[in-house]
Structure 1
Amino acid sequence: MFGFFSFKRKPTDPLTDVQSATRWMETLPLGNLYAANEGLVKALREYNQHQQAPSKDRIAALFTLDEGAQDILRALLGQYLLNPRMSRAVESRLWNAVFAYYQEILHAYHALVMDYVGNPSGSKVKPSLALIVARTVHYIGLGAKWCYFRYERVDPKLWKRLNKLYHLAEYEEIEREPLKLYETHDERSTSIAGRYLRILMLDAINNGTLLPRQLDLVDQWLADFTRELVLEKEFKPERHTFYVDLAEARGARRVRRVEASESKRYWGTFELKSHIDEIRAKLMKGEAPARLGLTEDCKLPACLELLDKVAALWSPTVKRTQRAHERRRVMQQIEVVRGLDMICASVKLNNDQVRLGGAGEGLSYEEMLDMHLYGFVTQRTRTKLAEARQGRRPPLPEYERWVVENESDGGFGALIDVQQDDWIRLGKLLGVKPERQGHWVVAVIRRMVQVSPNQYAVGLQILSQRPVALLLRASHEQPSGYTIDGVDAVDVVLPIPALYLKGERKAGQPDSLILPSAEFANGRHLWFSLHGTTYQIALNQALERGDDWLRVSFRLVTKVPAAGEAVRG
């Protein structure tokens, strides 16, 4: 009877005070990271939309929410980095979920900073100014890193805001004040200057050649490495390596013909280079990477190669590297296939055309073999070649067309569509056929930069101009005795598609094979037939790792000529 008096209570704002924020955080579905993150973003968005004057309680509540969000953000980062081959839809959902939190929390912290700037003496922000500025700088850096994950350019407005924040910290003389960003996590103390340098140094190596996991690993290293760096106002040409102009909307630049000014800040990397050299020497002696501050994620030898790469980019004595091959501006199309099976099928067509005399002039391989053995081409060979030329060719693999803007003897620079080519990744293996070239080459994506919302510029390195497609088979010395229709039915193993790449002895490059990652085992014995000869090989070490492929060296175990092929079965 009193139903007309009933009403729903308005939900309490979780950011009213610390107690409200704590109780609200306990209601988040931590078993569903996406839902928990969406709840955080929604609460922050409402906090920003209310635009209430900062109070001690609301600032403390914001700190509490941000502190509690760290485990969720770390878990989402882990998901992103552990699945480099996720689809564009999955990647976009995960990337946007994390980036949305960065945007809202950055908005909240920056509003507090602006409240202090507008009323320094009366603002409630002043007691926590150093931590607020540090976290604002921190989230600008995280946003920049996630842009690097996608090879996107950082918005110049963010660089402008970052540089102004550091200038404010200098003015308030809080830039070197030691602090911990988050008390509940096992983090070493830092400072606004240290976090600022960490962002600048990560930007200095962002050249489109590092994978997201590598970028994140280097960012972790920088928490320790930046202790070797000091920002200075006075320019010392013999000491300084990099500089940043606080009046500009951009990040770090290497010192080259720099005119000193009051808005520039400089730092050298001589001490950092010495520190990295010491770490490298200890790694070579067998010391564990984690004990040297390189984290548990540092796995040798790939980690050592990454350390050398970033050390060269940060080195104070770096020299501009000369290109191995001159780059030429062109405008042409290339045909592109992906996936080792498709690449092998495309290369095999070229191999068959050359073998059957369908490409180029002169005798085919079979005709040359007859001339060597008998002094003339046999009728059997002529009939076989004629039948092959008249026969139907196998269907061509599906391919894409890319626009090439520049090329060299070692690779191509191409423009591709972002939405259409959602499989594009650094280290992706490709089969490439230029329109002016009649055969397929094997290449790998080495560099990516997003030049517009809809396009990437990619750099392709050619691994081999004349690859050979092979079918590798596992060696079976003893038959099982159990056959079906004459075929051994125990431990049946399908042939493994692979590519043979001829090495260059002068450059110290051995002959190698490209094969699926899952098929590699050091010392594994395999065999293949080529031009009537059977080769048994043993796999050696992995020379390079891609997303689903390996380039490995090998040694020849036996070589059985054509007459003995039947013995091998």
Structure 2
Amino acid sequence: MVSKRPLREQFRTWRRSLRDPLRSGNAAARWIASLPTSDPLQLQRETLDLVASFPGGRRRIGPAQAEALLRVDARCEPIISHLTAQYTANYQRSSSVETRLWHGVFDLVKAFTAAYQAALKAGYAAGEQKRWKTVLPRVLVRLAHYKAIDGKFRLFRYSHWIPAQWRELHEIYEFARMRGWQREPLAFGGAAFSQPGESLEQEYIRSLLLMRLDSGNFTPDQVEWVGRSLEEWTPSLTLTPPPGTGANFYVDLSGTQGLKRQEKARAGGRLMYLDATAVYARVVERMRALPEQDADPHLPGALPPREQKLLLMRLAALYGPDALAFSPRAPRKSTDVEMRVVVGLQSLTRAVAEVEHLSAEAKTSGAR
């Protein structure tokens, strides 16, 4: 007698799939309509649970599941923006608040990244199917978008990308470029993203520019301010292949690092060039438009004018001409004095402690 259990299990799986929000774009739209709207953290939790289960009740990922993921992503976009704003405004309140808000976004970023990577792998394996060719460029744009948020949230904690993460970002861009998709807009049916004209190349360029802030000297609210400003400053920028005439930066798509200054001719690798002159011009323009006094009112989330000016001066060195980037910040002069060099943390702490026992005259002479 043949067991009916496998058939029964198949029927149950089919029944469950009918209730699966990731079954199709329309199913995702119905799930979105049922969500509460008043609690961003509850929305975050429900979205995280769903996206972490991608592709839902089906073992195989098809274009319908990718479209459903894009619908859910579009609904989640304002949640991520809200939680990011909450983080940059409250990260100094306490470690528990900082941790909760940071993970509120970063866990979503990891879930969407993994889901889009799975969709990309399935779409690539499907070959030249027409429906996949329509949806894959959008999947790539959003995958690059979440890679960018990943980098930004690492900067919030004074961290940076390891070589493997740089390699993943370069591979996403190269995958799209080889197929001519790098400048296709995100615009997608019923998925109402905030920037439907966004392309993968624009996301990639912004990531390259933002990750130049990886020195550990920028606070989270400063990093977020620069990220928002780059959205205004970069739409006209494009990457160009060699010889890169007039460009002041390059990126090696076969490498494990980000944007580098074009100090001398390069050989080997898969190089693309970027002229960031337009960004530098916007930095200078913004600097000139700043009010003189901090007392002038500014929008919520904006930096005070004095802090903006100091930050813009640093951005001018990061994105501006080579002569500005490498120029000394103060006049240099020759001197000839004896110096004591201390190496190592323990030796340094002992040396600092010794200063307290010096005479006032010795302290004064050492300061000169």
Q: Which TM-score band applies after superposition, normalised by the shorter structure?
A: 0.7 to 0.9
Q: Which stretch shifts more, 33-42 or 181-190? A: 181-190
Point out the structure with the larger helix share: 2
Structure 1 runs not aligned, ≥5 long = 1-6, 335-402, 405-432, 441-464, 467-503, 505-569
Counterpart in 2 of 1:21? 28
Picking from 254, 268, 292, the partner of 2:275 is: 268
Picking from 333, 356, 363, the partner of 1:438 is: 356
- Distance, in Å, in 2 between the alignment partners of 1:151 and 1:37 is 25
Counterpart in 2 of 1:330? 343
Letter in 2 for 1:94: L
Picking from 174, 185, 193, the partner of 2:181 is: 174
CA offset at residue 89 of structure 1?
2.6
Counterpart in 2 of 1:219? 227
CA offset at residue 55 of structure 1?
2.8
**Normalising by structure 1, what TM-score?**
0.53
Picking from 299, 310, 313, the partner of 1:308 is: 313
- Distance, in Å, in 1 between the alignment partners of 2:297 and 2:120 is 37
Q: Verify: 1:128 aligned to 2:141, yes or no.
A: no
Structure 2 runs not aligned, ≥5 long = 1-11, 333-338
Q: SS state of the match for residue 434, structure 1?
A: helix
Picking from 161, 172, 177, the partner of 1:165 is: 172
| Counterparts in 2 of 1:103 and 1:296: CA distance versus 1, 3 Å | closer
Output one character per residue of 1:132-184: Cα deviation in whole Å (capped at 9) or x when no partner.
11111000000110011001222432211110111111111121223458963
- Percent of aligned pairs with the same residue? 25
- Distance, in Å, in 1 between the alignment partners of 2:267 and 2:236 is 23
Picking from 76, 90, 98, the partner of 1:91 is: 98
| Counterparts in 2 of 1:328 and 1:202: CA distance versus 1, 3 Å | farther
Q: SS state of the match for residue 120, structure 1?
A: coil
CA offset at residue 77 of structure 1?
1.1
Counterpart in 1 of 2:326? 320
| Counterparts in 2 of 1:186 and 1:265: CA distance versus 1, 3 Å | same
Counterpart in 2 of 1:68? 75
Picking from 204, 213, 216, the partner of 2:212 is: 204
Point out the structure with the larger strand share: 1
- Distance, in Å, in 2 between the alignment partners of 1:257 and 1:111 is 40
Equivalences, count: 337
Counterpart in 2 of 1:485? none
- Distance, in Å, in 1 between the alignment partners of 2:177 and 2:239 is 11
- Distance, in Å, in 2 between the alignment partners of 1:228 and 1:57 is 33
Alignment of 1:246-285 (within 5 A): 246-261=253-268, 263-283=270-290
Q: Which stretch shifts more, 203-212 or 251-260? A: 251-260
| Counterparts in 2 of 1:27 and 1:190: CA distance versus 1, 3 Å | closer
Letter in 1 for 2:50: A
Question: Conserved in 1, the CA contact under 8 Å of 2:212 and 2:259?
Answer: yes
Picking from 232, 235, 243, the partner of 2:243 is: 235
Letter in 2 for 1:39: E
- Distance, in Å, in 1 between the alignment partners of 2:305 and 2:100 is 32
CA offset at residue 321 of structure 1?
5.3
CA offset at residue 265 of structure 1?
0.9
| Counterparts in 2 of 1:285 and 1:175: CA distance versus 1, 3 Å | farther
Q: Which has the higher contact order (CA 8 A, sep 6+)?
A: 2
Q: SS state of the match for residue 125, structure 1?
A: helix
Question: Conserved in 2, the CA contact under 8 Å of 1:54 and 1:124?
Answer: no
**Normalising by structure 2, what TM-score?**
0.79
Picking from 194, 198, 221, the partner of 2:202 is: 194
RMSD: 3.6
Question: Conserved in 2, the CA contact under 8 Å of 1:159 and 1:250?
Answer: yes
CA offset at residue 283 of structure 1?
3.6
Question: Conserved in 2, the CA contact under 8 Å of 1:16 and 1:61?
Answer: yes
| Counterparts in 2 of 1:50 and 1:86: CA distance versus 1, 3 Å | farther
- Distance, in Å, in 2 between the alignment partners of 1:161 and 1:175 is 15
CA offset at residue 211 of structure 1?
0.7
Question: Conserved in 1, the CA contact under 8 Å of 2:51 and 2:115?
Answer: yes
| Counterparts in 2 of 1:87 and 1:333: CA distance versus 1, 3 Å | farther
Letter in 1 for 2:343: V
Letter in 2 for 1:255: Q
Question: Conserved in 1, the CA contact under 8 Å of 2:249 and 2:260?
Answer: yes
CA offset at residue 273 of structure 1?
2.1
CA offset at residue 329 of structure 1?
5.2
